[in-house]
Amino acid sequence: MGEDASNESAGIQGAASQSGAPTDAAVPCGKLLKRTQAARILGVSKSTLRRMEGDALTPVVGPGNVHLFHQEQIHSMVVTRRSAVGTRANGDVAADAFELFDDGVHPVDVVKKLRIGPEVIENLHQHWCRLRGLVTLTEAGTAALHRMLCDQEAARQPMNEAELLAEVKKWVTEVSTRHCEQCRREHATFCRTCARTWGLRAARLQTAEKAARRL
């Protein structure tokens, strides 16, 4: 069958040369496809394929004025069309994902909603944060911040944004401006050792003042 196809291709190209149509010197060599086959591979109708002839496609005119197409050229066009469609699709996906991020939808839920791979959504989320001027923390960054806030290596790390924000709020409102553990009315800025030292010094001074008054 391969020999018959070669003979058919040679005969068609010879006929194309006689009819003044482009030959294999102008278009790629290889297997020739009928219009129906080429249209099916491209995913278009035969009428659409006809409109593409002479512009995007260079047909070979065979016996009986039959238009045939080089397989390599058809496959090349398939790759080009898929690339163009992929670019538009990526733009649409990015727009949909950014809209969901703006609405506060978590990236995991965006994956579920758009049914797009998590790698793509994660990358889009990073782009969205950068364009919005936001800061995203990695797992290591979250753990480091947790240790700074809590000063507890063994404490359970926050599992999500809400828990981390709760720790930050607690540190700002309670820890960074520590109040007296007893009365809770005044700020306590001493550690226990310094407070004990200061208390002993104050007690000695008070005792000395009382002794001086007796004299």
Domain assignment of residue 84, yes or no: no
Question: Based on the domain organization, do 98 and 48 belong to the same domain?
Answer: no
Same domain, 18 and 64: yes
pLDDT of residue 24: 38
Q: Which domain holds residue 142?
A: 137-177
Pairing of strands 67-70, 60-61: antiparallel
What pLDDT shows up at residue 15?
A: 42
pLDDT score of 109: 92
Instruction: Burial-class residue 52 by CB neighbours within 10 Å (0-12, 13-18, 19+).
Output: middle
Of 15-24, 85-94, 113-122, highest mean pLDDT:
113-122
Residue 18 lies in a domain: yes
In a domain, 148, yes or no: yes
- Statement to judge: residues 182 and 168 lie in one domain: no
Check the CA dihedral 70-76-77-82 and report its sign.
Answer: positive
DSSP reduced 3-state for 177: coil
User: What tokens were used for 22?
Assistant: 């482009």
> Residue 51 falls within a domain, yes or no?
yes
Residue 38 CA to residue 53 CA, distance in Å, equals 11
pLDDT in tens, 97-149: 999 999 989 899 998 888 888 888 888 898 898 898 887 777 777 777 777 77
Check which CATH number belongs to the domain holding 56 and give it. Answer: 1.10.1660
pLDDT at 199: 84
187 strand-pairing partners = 179
- The domain total for the chain is 4
Checking if the pLDDT of 200 tops 70, the result is yes
Q: Is the model more confident about 33 or about 77?
A: 33
d(CA 66, CA 51): 15
Residues 170 and 186 both lie in one domain: no
